[in-house]
Chains A and B, each alone.
Chain A
Amino acid sequence: SQQGEEDPQALSIQEGENATMNCSYKTSINNLQWYRQNSGRGLVHLILIRSNEREKHSGRLRVTLDTSKKSSSLLITASRAADTASYFCATVNSGNTPLVFGKGTRLSVIA
């Protein structure tokens, strides 16, 4: 079963705009991670946020975590065509169970 559910399923924006993707999950977590997957390639780890953290930044990425709502968001600022990819959230539950991925958001950045 998949723990995280990303929203929207697909997103298309113009280069330079910001992109926001959301992830909801069901059970208590140890941490939540965001990954990027370019077409035909493996996943690349973007950022990890622990259950006691509320916000993290990495370059043009900003991740927030609201454990009371069991949700997280990934914001990509000043998007570029190279950001075109699928973005997945994945959770490690409090019981240290396996990393569970959602179905992903397909982001298209149009130049």
Chain B
Amino acid sequence: EAGVAQSPRYKIIEKRQSVAFWCNPISGHATLYWYQQILGQGPKLLIQFQNNGVVDDSQLPKDRFSAERLKGVDSTLKIQPAKLEDSAVYLCASSLATRTDTQYFGPGTRLTVL
């Protein structure tokens, strides 16, 4: 079974630029999550999708972050404009249905904002 795919693996940008990350969840998984993991900390949930609808985006900085999951499969997370404090690893995860299901994580995208 193929795992969660993410791209790119690494990205370096300057502050105020924009960046986008892509995630392809495990086939058949209805729920998709985006996490931000700052160095030395645990992942923090940014947004959760159930199929193509948003379930929870309470911790998403909506003035600069946006995410979509068209057709309920792939998802993109965008940051515009980026700030220095956005430097982190962005992890995508998927699960079969609900939050109580096991989540499967992708390898992450390491973003450096200069």
Q: Which A positions have Cβ atoms within 8 angstroms of B?
A: 2, 4, 30-31, 33, 35, 40-45, 48, 88, 90, 92, 96-104
Interchain Cβ contacts under 8 Å between A and B, 15 examples: A30-B100, A33-B102, A40-B110, A41-B108, A42-B105, A42-B106, A43-B93, A43-B105, A45-B102, A45-B104, A90-B42, A92-B99, A96-B100, A97-B99, A99-B33
Asked whether B87 is an interface residue with its Cβ less than 8 Å from the other chain, the reply is: no
Judged by DSSP, the binding face of B is loop
Judge whether B99 and A43 touch: CB under 8 Å: no
Chain B residues near A (Cβ < 8 Å): 4, 33, 40-45, 48, 56, 59, 91, 93, 98-100, 102-108, 110
> Considering the chains assembled together, what is the distance between the CA atoms of A23 and B107 in angstroms?
24
Q: Beyond A42-B105, A99-B45, list 19 extra A-B contacts (CB 8 Å).
A: A2-B41, A30-B100, A33-B102, A35-B105, A40-B110, A41-B108, A42-B108, A43-B91, A43-B93, A45-B102, A45-B103, A48-B102, A90-B42, A92-B99, A97-B99, A98-B48, A98-B59, A103-B41, A104-B41
